[in-house]
Structure 1
């Protein structure tokens, strides 16, 4: 995202609010949905949330860098499911099942890529909108003075 949007101080609140909505949507799909399609949507939303968390923590980073790290994190979490660790952690505390998963599926990697691409598109669109609004505000200040 651009420096203009960062300077306005709205990036983190928007990322946080979007993260809450994505979390709610992901949990709804996970709890209410069934089948392969619901699983792919939930996994895609998971990747979007990972992106949002990283963008919140690293607000001035280039969106492609955030997207790359988000995808890498999702892939590493999926690959970790090949070990017994995520399942063991999930048996110890149930929410770990949602965060780390327990069963490896190569198809999940496609859903993660789609989720990160969606997050990149949304973030780029938000940056463009912020630049347009910033430009209009600057124009209005020039006209008023």
Structure 2
């Protein structure tokens, strides 16, 4: 099989690193610090966070179908968002900026809508790559 586990995992790591680098780059340029909360930083960060989560799912389960990996990533993102309703992430985010970046600190319906924006393009790309690499089945001889 051309799509090896090692290659898929390497692509997942690269995808996560690029998504996080772009997110942090936007925060650095637009806000000047990691804790900036402008609309651009917030919305792009949410979508790119979801992209990194998708990459994490693919890294952990490299043979998982892209649609299922996308569903898992979206479910995880939405679960974290719902977890914010408890107030626990707000308290955790007071301890370290990394905890704030991972868990957020307050529920936001806008985030719920932005998660798919970070996942869907990766699912589509993953489907396209898999379909190009999958060997064509040949018809049975008559």
TM-score by length of 1: 0.80
After TM superposition, the structure 1 = structure 2 runs for residues 1-145 of structure 1, keeping only pairs within 5 Å, are 4-6=2-4, 9-33=6-30, 35-131=38-134
- Which has the larger displacement, 119-128 or 55-64? 119-128
Write the distance in 2 (CA, Å) between the matches of 1:33 and 1:71. 27
Number of corresponding residues: 130
Q: CA RMSD in A?
A: 1.9
Q: Which runs of 5+ in 1 are unaligned?
A: 136-145
Q: Which runs of 5+ in 2 are unaligned?
A: 32-37, 137-142
Structure 1 outlier segments of 4+, above 6 Å: none
- Taking CA–CA contacts closer than 8 Å with sequence separation of 6 or more, which of the two structures ends up with the larger relative contact order? 1
Write the distance in 2 (CA, Å) between the matches of 1:93 and 1:38. 19
Higher helix share: 1
SS in 2 for 1:88: helix
TM-score by length of 2: 0.82
